[in-house]
Structure 1
């Protein structure tokens, strides 16, 4: 059975492992200060939020998200990071996390939840095509070397 809830201090090591797996999937390694900053933000629960999926008490998936204003609607929720341990994929943890984020956002008056994924992420896209609508938008970026 999969349960979803907030992260606690006891989850830090398992969360770091999952977050590292997420970043490795996208070909990046985060500096320790960015990992620490993310954890601090999640702990505060003001700007960034995190939920974890558990199987038999073990943290097996994570979702990171935040709300922001919109010029065309009420606030929206951006699901920035979603990752599940490879050993539990296909067993409902990702779906449970998405549903929990949607419920969290709905309770706060958001009108939609949205996210991005790489077009090559076919495993995730199979799930996403079941739970959401692909609106056909592409993402463009301008890197700002700060």
Structure 2
């Protein structure tokens, strides 16, 4: 059994975080260039920016998963919850509980902020991830819309 610990990303984690973020972008067929990677990393390290990162690390301390998340107000419940922007676990540790542990870590952060919960979206064809999500969360009936810049 793989031992996985979850912790917030720290300043020295860039080179452990980067391959995970690259793989996440590749999975969603999105190009990651140096500018974009450095921008996101800068956000993660800026205490004034809402985006945070949790890392799943193996027994050797190597990052094997990531979760990007941010606090969001929920006007309908007058609470603050958390939006889980990105979740990725390397293929080698999938099925080990690392994805679930990352989501639970983010959920614990939402409890620290108030009574809000955690919400996220995933691609309709990401069925392996949905198998986990369906076990630990409630699938909603909301429909997502996007407008390009």
Report the TM-score range of the alignment, normalised by the length of the smaller protein.
Answer: over 0.9
- Separation in 1 of the partners of 2:66 and 2:11? 14
1:51 aligned residue (50, 54, 60): 54
5+ long unaligned stretches in structure 2: none
2:67/2:87 contact within 8 Å kept: yes
What are the Cα deviations for residues 112-138 of structure 1, in whole angstroms up to 9, with x where unaligned? 100000010011001000110001222
- Separation in 2 of the partners of 1:45 and 1:98? 21
1:77/1:110 contact within 8 Å kept: no
- 2:43 alignment counterpart: 41
- Number of aligned residue pairs: 144
1:106 aligned residue (102, 111, 117): 111
Does the residue aligned with 1:87 lie in a helix, a strand or coil? helix
Displacement over 4 Å in runs of 4+: none
2:128 aligned residue (101, 112, 123): 123
Residue 60 of structure 1 pairs with residue 25 of structure 2: no
What are the Cα deviations for residues 15-58 of structure 1, in whole angstroms up to 9, with x where unaligned? 11000100100011123222111111111233111100011111
- 1:15 alignment counterpart: 17
Does the residue aligned with 1:117 lie in a helix, a strand or coil? coil
Residues 25-34 or 72-81, more deviating: 25-34
- Separation in 1 of the partners of 2:123 and 2:98? 20
TM-score, normalised by the number of residues in structure 1: 0.93
- Separation in 2 of the partners of 1:106 and 1:39? 25
1:5 aligned residue (1, 4, 7): 7
